[in-house]
Amino acid sequence: MHRFRLAALPLAALLAAGAWAQTAGTTPARGPGIYTCIDDKGRRLTADRPIPDCAAKEQQLLNRDGSLRAIIPPTLTAEERAEKEARERAAAEARAAAADAVRRDRNLTARYPNEAAHQRAREAALDSMRLAMKATAQRQRELAAERKPLLDEAEFYQGKPLPPRLKAQLDANDAAVEAQRTAAANQEVELARINKLYDAELERLRKLWSGAPAGSLGPLPPSLPPAAPVTRPPQRPASK
């Protein structure tokens, strides 16, 4: 049961008794405590459990002898609790990002002890893309060579419908040429993406090699995601 007392004198007597007990060298009683606070009207309230009227205020938990056992912080509203959790979450994320930057910087310098090592890694990453680009260029030349006799044959049908076989071959060639053009565009984008990633790494590495402590350059940006493929609107075949 709550026991609210509005008079200040009994509490003062309790506090004085607690002070006397501590001066005398006795140990303050633990056990059940006394909650006390000042409400919105300036009244001092006391009870044997947290006081609902002071939920938004700081409460003191006293021992039976009047000595202070603990300070009970205000109970947060739902909105205040959400704000507090958001601040704590942001702080935890910032700490995790800082720790991740330290770890990644150390891994980066371990992987690339000097600029020559980093350049070798760049070239290795670019080699596979250059091979793919070379294969695409070769396929484009092949398609151009395949198309020439088809166009020569189509000359005989000027102003007339093309035979189904010839039209199908030209349409297939058109589709293959367009696919290779798209592939070539995507490869150019990917080549630029790889160079951009290695440029950013090299800029950071130069600072680390010069003595900047790991993690002191701020969180690293995430690795660049794969480039979005280039898409082209469908085109109608050139030959009819």
Number of domains the chain contains: 2
User: Given this model, what pLDDT does residue 131 score?
Assistant: 94
Instruction: Assess whether pLDDT exceeds 50 at residue 238.
Output: no
User: Given this model, what pLDDT does residue 77 score?
Assistant: 79
Based on the fold, state whether residues 128 and 217 are members of the same structural domain: yes
**Is 44 within 8 Å of 37 (Cβ atoms)?**
yes
Based on the fold, state whether residues 15 and 133 are members of the same structural domain: no
In order of 76, 148, 231, the CA distances from 184 in angstroms are 60, 21, 11
One-letter identity of residue 60? Q
User: What digits encode the pLDDT tens for the residues 104-157?
Assistant: 899 999 999 999 999 999 999 999 899 999 999 999 999 999 999 999 999 999
Residue 4 domain-assigned? no
Based on the fold, state whether residues 163 and 232 are members of the same structural domain: yes
Output the 3-class SS for 63-90: CCCCCEEEEECCCCCHHHHHHHHHHHHH
User: What digits encode the pLDDT tens for the residues 90-104?
Assistant: 999 989 988 888 998
Residue 190 domain-assigned? yes
Q: Grade residue 230 by pLDDT with cuts at 50, 70 and 90.
A: very low
Q: How far apart are CA 96 and CA 172, in angstroms?
A: 54
Range of the domain at 90: 78-240
Based on the fold, state whether residues 29 and 97 are members of the same structural domain: no
Residue 1 domain-assigned? no
Strand partners, 36: 46, 60
Instruction: Assess whether pLDDT exceeds 70 at residue 188.
Output: yes
Structure tokens at 66: 């009047």
Q: How far apart are CA 215 and CA 103, in angstroms?
A: 8
